[in-house]
Chain A
Amino acid sequence: MVGTLFCVSALRLGIAAPSAPGPGLIPFGAAALLVLFSLGTIAEALFTSKREEALPAIISRRSWAVFTVLVVLFLYALFMPRLGFVVATFLALACLFRLSEGQTWKRAIGASLFTTLLTYLLFSRLLGVGLPQGLLEFAGF
């Protein structure tokens, strides 16, 4: 599907001729090969005797942990500019530490607070990385 989309877009860009290659010529070639190899992979899976080891289960007992990490990361990317680095990182890390087996909310919050302040001092104050201040702008964080 991705290959086909790229093929169509590359054709719109114009492939011109090999003697005067247009901006779409080489992407079109790569996309066509992607379609070809993907069809080959499907055919291989369907028609040949497989010697590959069995695929690991896509959904496992702890898939929820993966899902939670991803949700936390997406929310972090979405709200970090508004909340600021310190607040967003503190909240995200608290959730991630809590995700670990055997961690209580109290310990997770403590570890998150310590790590956030340490990384803020290291990256923002020491290395001069420009991190958004957000809600704590008034306090100079």
Chain B
Amino acid sequence: MDIFTGIIGGFSTCLTPMNLLYCFIGVFVGTLIGVLPGIGPVGTISLLLPATFHVEPVSAIIMLAGIYYGAMYGGSTTSILVNIPGEAASVITCLDGYQMARKGRAGAALGISAFGSFIAGTIGVIALMFLAYPLATAALRFGPPEYFSLMCLGLAILTYLAHGSMLKALSMAMAGMLLSFIGLDSITGLPRFTMDMVHLMDGVGLVPVAMGLFGISEVLINVEETVQRDVFKTKIKGLLPNREEWRRSRWPILRGTIIGFLLGILPGGGAVVSSFISYGLEKKLSREPEKFGTGMIEGVAGPESANNAAVGGAFVPLFTLGIPANVTMAVLLGALMIHGLIPGPMLIRQAPQVFWGTVTSMYIGNVLLLLLNLPLIGLWVKVLRIPYRILFPLIILFCLIGAYSLNNTTFDIGVMIVFGLVGYLMKKFQYEGAPLLLAFVLGPMMEQALRQSLLISHGSFAIFFTRPISAIAMGLAVALIASYFLPALRDKRLNLEE
């Protein structure tokens, strides 16, 4: 199947009434949770995953992907109107978006954010289509050593980019990996670390762990903090940016798209990092850098485009190599596997309707998001006014039902609560959840690839350094981790973080 046949097939899959409905539900829920601070796409995808068990895999993935890119659109609304980012990827939009709103240009900020997101999202999807197919074909030649090294690189980048101490991030990655080993060994069938508990024979479930770490823990933090949200009171008008604003935004949108897509492909980077880099670049290129932070439209257009383009980029390693670039993709990888699909280079050949159907649904999803975000802005502002004291019991309730409905057992609820507490304590002690969850998903794949590699090489670890692709990936991974232990480079990383 060539690319164009795939695209036509993809549209015929995603344009069926049922898949259109799932796409709409996905982007609607995505925008909703993007607007609402307190629950992100990881928690929501985990929450809705059990609800997709009875639907076609392609419909499920279309909906779950819609939540992810929908959240990127919705996240900017709270940044602009409340000065509180709905999503981590929209943190930087607060700086100039909120200032624009204070100056009476909330409509233009929301408008350029939606149009920028639409343009970047669409270009990102086009790039994904044309890059994924040849990359997947090339990836067919990859063996276990290449896969192991690429997964090591992914974890190394994620821990390198983690906030705060890299040692803490590395500890979390190892903890996640150990957690993934609980259950029956895939080769010998021996139970490992199960403490003779029947429930642990199948291992610890991804959904309760993700919901605990990213759903319940977030609720606990918010219950403790009681953040006040003062929604901007002025009437929002003029959602279409004027000619001058378009002129100033067109290059930031294009640059943000390129940065976002390329960084989205890299494991560990993604939407958050690309939005920060885009902002930094726009500030550097501007003739009036001192005005950034006072309501410059470039500071909204660039980052918002970057975080949406990053979504398209993040799907590249997932669909072509079966390696998730970030935590949301890790949960989507879990979703693919639960639906009996094997993510990786064979996915495009064995389940073309899933790959092309999902990719083309993103075009439709981007159009739907533009329609949802501009004319319905009043609705999202009303949603923003819902007090958190009403929201949090509902979030908890949906988490409880989601965890229970996995296997109809309260054991999963218990796992979710335990990880909620663990996630809460991790936030308090500044440990990040992302390396833990990514390693948890990658753990079994890494173990299998490592064992196969060692069998091939008769126990020699040199195999990872003698094959070119593996050597480059492993070399980069080692260099990134080693850089933390060199004082000069560590200072550079901390400066970058600041």
Does A2 touch B at the CB level, under 8 Å? yes
Could you say which residues of chain B place their CB within 8 Å of the CB of A27? Answer: 178, 181, 192-193
Does B167 touch A at the CB level, under 8 Å? yes
Does B404 touch A at the CB level, under 8 Å? yes
> Is A130 a contact partner of B408 (Cβ separation < 8 A)?
yes
* Contact among B390, B410, B424, B451 with A81 in the assembled complex (CB-CB below 8 Å): B410
Give 5 CB contacts A-B under 8 Å. A21-B451, A30-B181, A55-B429, A65-B224, A101-B389
Total count of chain A residues near the partner, CB < 8 A: 64
Could you say which residues of chain B place their CB within 8 Å of the CB of A2? Answer: 175, 178
* Contact among B165, B168, B185, B429 with A23 in the assembled complex (CB-CB below 8 Å): B185
> Is B396 a contact partner of A73 (Cβ separation < 8 A)?
yes
Q: Mark A22-66, 1 if CB is under 8 A from B, else 0.
A: 111111001101100110110010000001100110101011011
> Is A3 a contact partner of B410 (Cβ separation < 8 A)?
no
Other A-B pairs beyond A26-B450, A97-B393, A101-B389, 14, CB < 8 Å: A9-B192, A18-B459, A22-B188, A26-B446, A37-B170, A55-B428, A60-B224, A69-B219, A70-B421, A115-B393, A115-B394, A123-B401, A130-B405, A130-B408
Q: Mark B127-153, 1 if CB is under 8 A from A, else 0.
A: 000000000000000000000000000
Quick one: closest A residue to B417, CB to CB?
Answer: A73
Task: Using A69-B220, A99-B223 as known contacts, say yes or no to A119 and B389 having CB atoms under 8 A apart.
Answer: no
The distance from the CB of B186 to the nearest CB of chain A, in whole angstroms, is 9
Contacts of B439-455 to chain A: CB distance below 8 A: 446-447, 450-451, 454-455
Does A136 touch B at the CB level, under 8 Å? no
Quick one: closest B residue to A123, CB to CB?
Answer: B401
> Is A65 a contact partner of B223 (Cβ separation < 8 A)?
yes
Report how far A77 CA is from B417 CA in the complex, Å. 9
> Is B178 a contact partner of A119 (Cβ separation < 8 A)?
no
The distance from the CB of A64 to the nearest CB of chain B, in whole angstroms, is 9
Does A102 touch B at the CB level, under 8 Å? yes
Report how far A119 CA is from B401 CA in the complex, Å. 9
> Is A66 a contact partner of B220 (Cβ separation < 8 A)?
yes
Task: Using A19-B454, A37-B167, A56-B428 as known contacts, say yes or no to A115 and B397 having CB atoms under 8 A apart.
Answer: yes
Task: Using A77-B410, A80-B413, A115-B393 as known contacts, say yes or no to A62 and B174 having CB atoms under 8 A apart.
Answer: no
Task: Using A13-B190, A26-B451, A131-B404 as known contacts, say yes or no to A41 and B393 having CB atoms under 8 A apart.
Answer: no
Quick one: closest B residue to A45, CB to CB?
Answer: B165
> Is A96 a contact partner of B393 (Cβ separation < 8 A)?
yes
Report how far A38 CA is from B174 CA in the complex, Å. 10
Does B232 touch A at the CB level, under 8 Å? no
Could you say which residues of chain B place their CB within 8 Å of the CB of A22? Answer: 188
Report how far A18 CA is from B464 CA in the complex, Å. 14
Does B171 touch A at the CB level, under 8 Å? yes
Quick one: closest A residue to B216, CB to CB?
Answer: A73
Does B300 touch A at the CB level, under 8 Å? no
Most chain A beta-carbon neighbours within 10 Å: one of B174, B404, B424: B174
Does A141 touch B at the CB level, under 8 Å? no
Could you say which residues of chain A place their CB within 8 Å of the CB of B174? Answer: 3, 30-31, 33-34, 37
* Contact among B192, B224, B459 with A62 in the assembled complex (CB-CB below 8 Å): B224
Report how far A123 CA is from B50 CA in the complex, Å. 12
Does B494 touch A at the CB level, under 8 Å? yes
Could you say which residues of chain B place their CB within 8 Å of the CB of A9? Answer: 192-193
Report how far A3 CA is from B494 CA in the complex, Å. 28
> Is B410 a contact partner of A38 (Cβ separation < 8 A)?
no
> Is A40 a contact partner of B421 (Cβ separation < 8 A)?
no
> Is B461 a contact partner of A18 (Cβ separation < 8 A)?
yes
Q: Mark B146-186, 1 if CB is under 8 A from A, else 0.
A: 00000000000000000011011011001101100100010
Could you say which residues of chain B place their CB within 8 Å of the CB of A86? Answer: none
Does A105 touch B at the CB level, under 8 Å? no
> Is A23 a contact partner of B187 (Cβ separation < 8 A)?
yes
Most chain A beta-carbon neighbours within 10 Å: one of B51, B219, B400: B400
Does B430 touch A at the CB level, under 8 Å? yes
Q: Mark A62-87, 1 if CB is under 8 A from B, else 0.
A: 11011001100110111011000000
The distance from the CB of B483 to the nearest CB of chain A, in whole angstroms, is 15
Could you say which residues of chain B place their CB within 8 Å of the CB of A63? Answer: 224
Does A139 touch B at the CB level, under 8 Å? no
> Is A40 a contact partner of B397 (Cβ separation < 8 A)?
no
> Is B389 a contact partner of A38 (Cβ separation < 8 A)?
no
* Contact among A31, A40, A41, A96 with B392 in the assembled complex (CB-CB below 8 Å): A96
Contacts of B355-396 to chain A: CB distance below 8 A: 387, 389-390, 392-394, 396
> Is A26 a contact partner of B447 (Cβ separation < 8 A)?
yes
Report how far A63 CA is from B405 CA in the complex, Å. 30
The distance from the CB of B453 to the nearest CB of chain A, in whole angstroms, is 10
Contacts of B173-215 to chain A: CB distance below 8 A: 174-175, 177-178, 181, 185, 187-188, 190, 192-193
Could you say which residues of chain A place their CB within 8 Å of the CB of B455? Answer: 19-21
Could you say which residues of chain A place their CB within 8 Å of the CB of B177? Answer: 30
Task: Using A30-B181, A37-B170 as known contacts, say yes or no to A74 and B417 having CB atoms under 8 A apart.
Answer: yes
Most chain B beta-carbon neighbours within 10 Å: one of A62, A65, A102: A65
Quick one: closest B residue to A29, CB to CB?
Answer: B450
Top 4 nearest A-B pairs (CB, nearest first) are A19-B459, A100-B389, A18-B459, A34-B174
Does B226 touch A at the CB level, under 8 Å? yes
The distance from the CB of A125 to the nearest CB of chain B, in whole angstroms, is 13
Does B75 touch A at the CB level, under 8 Å? no
> Is A119 a contact partner of B393 (Cβ separation < 8 A)?
no
Quick one: closest A residue to B401, CB to CB?
Answer: A123
> Is B226 a contact partner of A101 (Cβ separation < 8 A)?
yes
Report how far A127 CA is from B398 CA in the complex, Å. 14
Does B9 touch A at the CB level, under 8 Å? no
